[in-house]
Amino acid sequence: MTAHKFRLNGTTLFAMPSGALWIPDVQTLCVSDLHLGKSARIARRTGSMLPPYETADTLARVSHDIALTDPKMVICLGDSFDDLGAAAELTHSATATIAQMQAGRAWVWIEGNHDPGPVPVGGTHLAELHLAGLTFRHITTHQTHEVSGHYHPKFGLSGMGPARACFLYDEIRLLLPAYGTYTGGLDATNPVLRDLFGSNTIAVLTGKKAIAVPMAKTLHQRRPVGRSY
């Protein structure tokens, strides 16, 4: 398997190259920050009409990971929808895809800052969830053994191509990368993220393979400058 295997609070976890987290003990797949309906929200708010294919693309990738792991439960770790309006405006084919994925398994929507209310799509809506000795919530607090998203961490090595979305973890907490197709990232060396983690932090880069890099060893590395539009 090309995933990176590690442990948090004794639970075995797999950081998958797609950006999903696989928890074999409880047969659970976790994805964060899908931002479904992002292009529609941008069009509504700014008039910019970006290629409207990201929702289909994001869902296709989730489908693929579900087919790969056949989980008993799927946790979407917040900001699953770019806003509540976007959740209400999902196309028929998108809602059909979601329904198909939900069939025969538990599905949990954790609330995020973009989608704070219940969303008009099937599944359980929770602010947080305790499972396998870990707490799943959208934004990390100061508790230990949390799995969260929100920050969209990304990281790259000097001279090794552009930064990639990444997992970040130490003994205390785990941050998931943003899974959505139209999501940018916050560099892992940003003080906001640095302050969350201790000296033994590992970044797991997504891509064709999950690649683990110790953050401490990269302090001397360049700070990549993200390109945004």
113 is a site residue for other proteins (CB under 8 A):
no
For other proteins, the closer of residues 66 and 204 by Cβ is 204
Q: Long-range contacts for 59-65 (Cβ within 8 Å, ≥24 apart)?
A: 59/94, 59/97, 59/98, 59/101, 60/97, 61/18, 61/179, 61/181, 62/20, 62/31, 62/34, 62/101, 62/179, 63/97, 63/100, 63/101, 64/18, 65/16, 65/18, 65/20, 65/29, 65/31
- Which of positions 156-175 make contact with other proteins (CB under 8 A)? 157-162, 169
For other proteins, the closer of residues 50 and 126 by Cβ is 50
- Binder among 178, 179, 196, 197 for other proteins (CB under 8 A): 178
145 is a site residue for other proteins (CB under 8 A):
no
- Binder among 64, 72, 130, 222 for other proteins (CB under 8 A): 222
91 is a site residue for other proteins (CB under 8 A):
yes
18 is a site residue for other proteins (CB under 8 A):
no
64 is a site residue for other proteins (CB under 8 A):
no
Least Cβ distance, residue 111 to other proteins (angstroms): 19
54 is a site residue for other proteins (CB under 8 A):
yes
Q: Long-range contacts for 60-66 (Cβ within 8 Å, ≥24 apart)?
A: 60/97, 61/18, 61/179, 61/181, 62/20, 62/31, 62/34, 62/101, 62/179, 63/97, 63/100, 63/101, 64/18, 65/16, 65/18, 65/20, 65/29, 65/31, 66/29, 66/101
Least Cβ distance, residue 171 to other proteins (angstroms): 8
- Binder among 57, 70, 130, 198 for other proteins (CB under 8 A): 57
Residues in contact with other proteins by the rule CB under 8 A: 5-8, 12, 39-40, 43-44, 46-54, 56-57, 91, 151-152, 157-162, 169, 178, 181-186, 200, 202, 205, 207-209, 211-214, 216-218, 220-229
